[in-house]
Chains A and B, each alone.
Chain A
Amino acid sequence: MNRYPLWKYLIIVCAVVAGVVYTIPNFFGESPAIQVSPLRAGAKVDLSLLQKIDDLLTNEGITVQASYLDKNGIKVRFEDTDSQLQAKDAVQGGLGRDYIVALNLLPNSPSWLTSLNALPMYLGLDLRGGVHFLLQVDMPSALQKAKESYLQDLRRVMRAENIRYSKISVGKSGIDIEFRDESIRDQALVILEINATDLNYVSKERGSATLISAAVKPEVEKRIQEFALQQNITTLRNRVNELGVAEPIVQQSGADRVVVQLPGVQDTAKAKNILGRTATLEVRLVDEDKMDPASLQAAQDGRIPSGDDLIYDREGTPYLLKKEVILTGDRISDAQPGFDNTTSEAAVHLSLDGRGSSIFQMTTRENVGRRIAMVLVEKGSSEVVTAPVVRAEIPGGRVQISGSMTTTEAHDTALLLRAGALAAPMEIIEERTVGPSLGADNIDRGFKSTWIGFAALALFIAVYYSVFGVISVFALSVNMMLLAAVLSMLQATLTLPGIAAVALTLGMAIDANVLINERIREEIRNGTTPQAAITAGYERAWGTILDSNITTLIAGIALFFFGTGPIRGFAVVHCIGILTSMFSAVFVSRGVVNLIYGRKKKIDRLAIGDSDWYKKSN
């Protein structure tokens, strides 16, 4: 009765083989590598580019371990970090600005394993180092911006239809438009409802004023928010690409949040700076009529002329700029850092798109002799970068910004302008940065504590339960391997709490074998024959094992659904570990027991480490 049919052994053998195959990629380690991917839509990544990169590296005399093309781009592996860094510079120099060349780590596993899709587990940020950000999009401000643009629309519609309003302003709930009398208002209402359909209009009397209150329709509001989020994600992707990070993650999280993960980033301060910035450019006219010292002084004391804004430059010089924005960053098609031809100061050279060029040409034509200000707007604060005098009409959309910038600032500003503006400001509401050395320490500690714990546990169980103990330890090893294999197959992200969960799960999984072994000992004590004791031990223990594992599983699943970040990693490992442990502790260990004892007709005693203490007194 203690025999397994062949198919059961076949299942065990298959599981163990699959376990081995999918676990071993984790032991090959990783090599330094570079990853080349396209930055612009036009740039192609194909075999000819791979050839080009190989040639570049051969010319520089850099030894390449392997180079190949896959769906993420071209990857080249090196022996050491020195050749990796040299290669990065060589390839970036040779390919120019159309490609991103990022540093990366690639698994060393042989290609036959990779072709089976046997890949190592993905290491979480706390193990490999890197940055995790959670950014919150400021939706009220996106809506406010939208209201202001609708205000312009309404103004234009009424002007075109010759409707005279006395006042228009953005109020708390929407846009308020005041009229002299009801007949004009009713006329306006009809016109607006036909021409600007994104808003709901309500006629109102407030005190003596006759007005229309226009509110953005809820579905339009939703659309605006979705658009703002998508636009921000796109912008963030562009910025991350410019940073040159391998395998970055930029994705939506909830209705108004974005997760950004940059594995392996060393200069976290720069990453934060670039991601967190909301810089956009505004081109505005200097109000030359009000730039006399008296008006400026008055403005600084708080009496700013209507239609103007008071904005300072870096040195603190005040400017009164017209509220009307001629151009914004949206019209920029490219931005490059460089130097001013005459003063050799650091500068940013902008190229405007078609419409931007014509607006800029028209503005410069009409304002020769006046000053035009380039304003960098960053979350709530504006700064005049430069306000040169227009000497002649500027055609062709080539614009240069130069002020008191350093080369680094010029470089960063160009990057920000090139990557596009954010549709709505964003704020970092969660940050996790792990330095590379801490990551390495964490891996070390995690593995050390698991191995030492496992060794101590194995030793104890083997001594305490003798042959059955060794079988239990074998089952536990199979469990650990299957757990690692399943995690690798799922390409789960391994984190430090995840490693802790592996250790804890193994410590708990031994419970099943302890239950079985104790049960068998008890049956023997009650005088059952060894063969019957094995059967009874496994059968009686099974119900208990099932019940206790299901309750643990309930806790694990709840942890997964309500947990975030590191807790989820813990929960995934915990749940999978419970499932693999039921398989290995019951099915696999029974298989081994059957193999050893099942074929024997008569067994004198089972090597389960029990003594005969109960017999002596009876």
Chain B
Amino acid sequence: MEFFKIRKDIPFMRHALTFNLISIAMFLLAVGALAFKGLNLGVEFTGGTVMEVGYSESANLSKIRKSLESGGMSEAVVQSFGDSRTVLIRLPTKPELTGAKLSDQVFLMLKEDDPQLELRRVDYVGSQVGEELVEKGALALLVVSLGIVIYLAFRFEWKFGLAAILANLHDVVIILGFFALFQWEFSLPVLAAVLAILGYSVNESVVVFDRIRENFRKMRKASVREVINNAITRIMGRTIITHGSTQLMVLSILIFGGETLHYFALALTIGILFGIYSSIFVASPLVLWLGISREDLIKPEVKKEEAVV
């Protein structure tokens, strides 16, 4: 079986400007969503309590809300989680009660209405822990970005490193933008997904760059644009198949992985789709704008010859 039977190189770079404008527009939209709506941070980052309780039959949300209100927990957010019998309750931190006690109290309160109630999960995070996590998350993002730039600068050239990281940070911002726009919960697993995507989609750019470097050696007479077009066209088949395969796995997590992994899989899905887009339509034009040339990549050999002469 074969999907991609492309004979001529597709002139991707002819439309470089258009793609870059689209990217900038998407990027600005994402930044706007982040600035105006902000991320709906999970309890790990904000501090607070989340409880998951299981009822023996369909839960009556309004009744639960009422009992919580009468118990002085009017700020509690009650929603169903996954199926109609599972209920998620979010509680803000109360200064007079430690979080650990708070969840016990709420559970006892709800158990009065339904003695068969089952406590499935409690996550309580104090505010100082949350602040530390935000700090650590930001630091991780920074270190990953720097590490990748340094590695690529060492293996290729600084222009490639910069282009790759810009393209991929653009992916990260767009994932974050989606989470802000739709107010999906941004939890620790989502952060893990975002960082994994950062590594994964740099990987994508690396494959394209590798091909560009190889083409510079082989296609001695071609212009830089032709070299890039050929590299992207030749690599298209593998790009789609690879991402399709990864997406098959992620789709399986999205469908069968349950609520806990839902947003994790969603972040990966967005990341994979934009990863394809960004490595072809963002990273490569960026390399072009940064003024890459044949000499940038095959310098060592030239020097050797000079030495001999």
Contacts and interface: CB of A to CB of B under 8 A. Distances in A.
Contacts of A566: 188-189, 192
Categorize the interface residue count of chain B.
Answer: 35 or more
Given A435-B119, A437-B120, A449 B202 contact: no
Interface stretch (A56-64, A325-333, A567-575): A567-575
B52 interface: yes
Given A563-B192, A617-B7, A437 B118 contact: yes
Nearest to A497: B189
B151 interface: yes
Q: Which 10 A-B pairs have the closest CB atoms?
A: A555-B199, A453-B252, A507-B249, A429-B126, A562-B140, A548-B203, A507-B246, A449-B256, A433-B122, A431-B124
A547 B206 contact: yes
B238 A518 contact: yes
Interface string B111-155: 000000011111111101100010011011001100110011001
A574 B202 CA distance: 16
Contact of A504 (B137, B139, B246, B256): B246
A614 B7 contact: yes
Interface of B is mostly: helix
Contacts of B251: 453
Contacts of B140: 558-559, 561-563
A427 interface: yes
Interface in A565-618: 565-567, 570-571, 574, 609-611, 613-614, 617
B250 A504 contact: yes
Contact of A457 (B121, B137, B204, B249): B249
A301 interface: no
Given A511-B246, A562-B143, 12 more contacts: A449-B252, A453-B250, A454-B249, A460-B248, A497-B261, A497-B264, A500-B265, A503-B249, A555-B196, A556-B196, A563-B192, A610-B2
B1 A609 contact: yes
A504 B100 CA distance: 34
Contacts of B247: 507
A430 B252 contact: no
Contacts of B244: 460
B107 A269 contact: yes
Interface of B: 1-2, 5, 7, 52, 54, 98-101, 103-104, 107, 118-126, 128-129, 133, 136-137, 139-140, 143-144, 147-148, 151-152, 155, 188-189, 191-192, 195-196, 198-200, 202-204, 206-207, 210-211, 214, 234, 237-238, 241-242, 244-253, 255-258, 260-261, 264-265, 268
A564 interface: yes
Given A449-B253, A562-B137, A611-B2, A429 B128 contact: yes
Contacts of B143: 558, 561-562
A156 B260 CA distance: 61
Interface of A is mostly: helix
A434 interface: yes
A544 B207 contact: yes
A272 B104 contact: yes
Interface in A442-493: 442, 445-446, 448-450, 452-454, 456-457, 460-461, 463-464, 466
Contact of A556 (B100, B199, B248, B268): B199
Categorize the interface residue count of chain A.
Answer: 35 or more
7 contacts: A427-B98, A453-B249, A464-B241, A518-B237, A547-B206, A548-B204, A552-B202
Residue of A269, A448, A556, A571 most packed against chain B (CB within 10 A): A269
Contacts, number: 244
A555 B192 CA distance: 10
Contact of A510 (B54, B198, B214, B246): B246
Nearest to A450: B252
A134 B118 CA distance: 24
A504 B249 contact: yes
Contact of A276 (B1, B52, B100, B195): B100
A554 B118 contact: no
A13 to B, nearest CB: 28
A555 B189 contact: no
A255 to B, nearest CB: 13
B55 to A, nearest CB: 12
Contacts of B264: 497, 500
Contact of A511 (B196, B203, B253): B203
